[in-house]
Amino acid sequence: MSIFNETVSRRKSQSFKWDQMEKIYNIPDASDILPMWVADMDFAAPKEVIEAIEKRLQHPVFGYSYVCDGCKDAIVQWFERRYNWTIDLQSILFHHGVVPAIASIIETFTAPGDKVAISTPVYPPFFNIPTAQGRVVEACDLVEKNGSYVFDFAALEETFKRGVRMYILCNPHNPAGVVWSREDLEQLVSLCIQYEVYLLSDEIHADIIFDNKKYVPILTVKDAEKAKIISCIAPTKTFNLAGIQAAMMVVPNSKLLAQLELNAQAHGQMALNAFASAAVQAAYSHGEAWLDKLISYLSINMAYVLKELNALEGISVTQPDGTYLLWIDYRQTGLSENDIMERLLTKGKLALEPGTKYGQAGEGFLRMNVACSLATVQEGVSRFKQALA
């Protein structure tokens, strides 16, 4: 029996996903609603990570701490071993999340009024953060192909010609689960070099990849060293540690690194706290077998949902290359987003994310998170059917 079959109750654990639905969905009572929205998992973290935090807790003094070399080595070895990516220890800058790292990167390299380009539909902070910082977001839609998405490089180039300062890449892509190919990334890097665009690559979903797909770190593609690239990585999606808050920026260009360090100083930003650092080290040192099992388990969940939902009239879902997220196309049902959300919440008692949360290009889609036990996934599918019945 898989360890992932075990259902851990998360209600009343200050879980955003389970305990904040009333607020987010504007409903009086969500106690009977099944949440399959926020991108975290309902699984317990690897036991080695829990033990490492417990071990740190046994020392009763919680004074200032630093991230030890052992932790940095564990990060470097993980990416070397799994992706053949050699990260220079000196190029790592810690932050307490990829989202705050994105905010810091945008603030450092762009000015109010500058244009920041993104490919939509995409993770909301990609447009919310630049907008909140007074930057102008240039959304260039991805193009649908065979139930997935591809870049429209001609349109992206036209956007860059209009004077874009930064492009934010999501690789693997949230919400569509696309793992971009080396060729795609090379083309993107080449455009960024040609138009002198900073390239921020959010690679938080790097480790959850299916079948024979391959995650390619942006910093390993041809000519990457000639571009102004900042890559963001983290163990928090991989090992379900988002509440612990930890992320790394990888910045091989020492000039860019110095600018980001100055920005961190401007905000009094410190490295990881003692527990986060223990968790990161343990996850990257001992989490590999757990991750392999997780990916196999998620594949089963994915296959189940695909089979069941694709049998429904008007619904179409494609197997993603990576992530534990499904991007469900309901356009053929003829339902509006309000209608389907209303049906899901009231008839189905199921909380999914509406596609337009990811930009207008997400209209007609829903995002479903299948990182929970197969029994919960089955319950979710049954509720989905109930909602559409």
Ligand X SMILES: Cc1ncc(COP(=O)(O)O)c(C=O)c1O
| Residues lying near ligand X in the complex (CB under 6 A) | 39, 97-99, 123, 170, 174, 202, 204, 234, 236, 242, 247
Q: Closer CB to ligand X, residue 174 or residue 376?
A: 174
Task: State the residue number with the nearest CB to ligand X.
Answer: 97
> Smallest distance, Å, CB 368 to ligand X?
14
Give CA–CA dist 209/318, Å, rounded: 15
> Smallest distance, Å, CB 29 to ligand X?
26
> Smallest distance, Å, CB 234 to ligand X?
5
Q: Closer CB to ligand X, residue 322 or residue 348?
A: 322
Q: Closer CB to ligand X, residue 126 or residue 195?
A: 126
Give CA–CA dist 268/230, Å, rounded: 20
> Smallest distance, Å, CB 139 to ligand X?
16
Give CA–CA dist 124/356, Å, rounded: 10
Q: Closer CB to ligand X, residue 97 or residue 359?
A: 97
> Smallest distance, Å, CB 324 to ligand X?
10
Q: How far is CA 345 from the centre of its chain?
A: 25
4 near 43, Cβ under 8 Å? yes
- Provide the token pair at 387: 């909602």
Q: Closer CB to ligand X, residue 140 or residue 325?
A: 325
CA angle 39, 45, 51 (to 5 degrees): 150
1 near 318, Cβ under 8 Å? no
> Smallest distance, Å, CB 201 to ligand X?
10
- Provide the token pair at 359: 């930009």
Give CA–CA dist 218/358, Å, rounded: 23
What is the widest separation between alpha-carbon atoms in the chain?
A: 60
Q: Please, where are the H alpha helices in 44-152? A: 47-58, 69-83, 98-109, 125-132
Q: Closer CB to ligand X, residue 242 or residue 264?
A: 242
Q: Partners of 317 in the beta sheet? A: 328
Three-state SS at 299: helix
Q: Closer CB to ligand X, residue 217 or residue 348?
A: 217
Give CA–CA dist 223/124, Å, rounded: 29
> Smallest distance, Å, CB 239 to ligand X?
12
> Smallest distance, Å, CB 53 to ligand X?
18
Give CA–CA dist 165/335, Å, rounded: 38
Give CA–CA dist 120/138, Å, rounded: 10
Q: Closer CB to ligand X, residue 230 or residue 242?
A: 242
